[in-house]
């Protein structure tokens, strides 16, 4: 399976926006399959997105790196919002369910600023 992250771009990172408010998958545009190859800045950019989600009101942000279906290493940043009962993997496994907390206009603006600041190509 071809990785959706692999892109010809001058940007440093690629992110895929999920259905859930705040949910992003972040990777490099060049395919990487070993942790020794991952640039440190990937973690810093992911940390910055997680911190913004906390400021926006996320109760918890899960960092998940499975990389089984797509071998290209990537980080899922998956927020749990205050009124949700499901936690951890139970919550993450519902990620394709259309009943997700929606992206607000304010959170979309935060995403736009984050993309510009950290030179990220956004895939919706």
Given this model, what pLDDT does residue 107 score?
A: 96
pLDDT band at 3 (very low <50, low <70, confident <90, very high): confident
CA geometry: angle 68, 28, 66, nearest 5 deg: 20
- Mean per-residue pLDDT for 85-110? 90
Distance CA 35, CA 33 (A): 7
Residue given tokens 């993450």 in the structure block? 92
pLDDT band at 9 (very low <50, low <70, confident <90, very high): confident
Domains and CATH numbers, the chain: 13-123 (3.30.428.10)
Convert the pLDDT of each residue in 40-82 to its tens digit.
999 999 999 999 999 999 999 999 887 667 778 899 999 999 8
pTM over 0.85: yes
């Amino acid at each position: 399976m071809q990785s959706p992250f692999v892109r010809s771009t001058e940007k440093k990172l690629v992110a895929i926006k999920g259905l859930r408010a705040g949910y992003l998958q972040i990777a490099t545009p060049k395919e990487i399959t070993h942790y020794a190859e991952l640039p440190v800045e990937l973690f810093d950019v992911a940390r910055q997105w997680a911190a913004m989600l906390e400021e926006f009101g996320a109760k918890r942000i899960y960092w998940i790196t499975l990389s089984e279906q797509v071998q290209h290493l990537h980080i899922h940043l998956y927020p749990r919002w205050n009124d949700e009962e499901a936690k951890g993997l139970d919550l993450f496994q519902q990620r394709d369910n259309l009943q997700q907390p929606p992206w607000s206009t304010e959170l979309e603006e935060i995403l736009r600023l984050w993309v510009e600041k950290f030179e990220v190509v956004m895939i919706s």
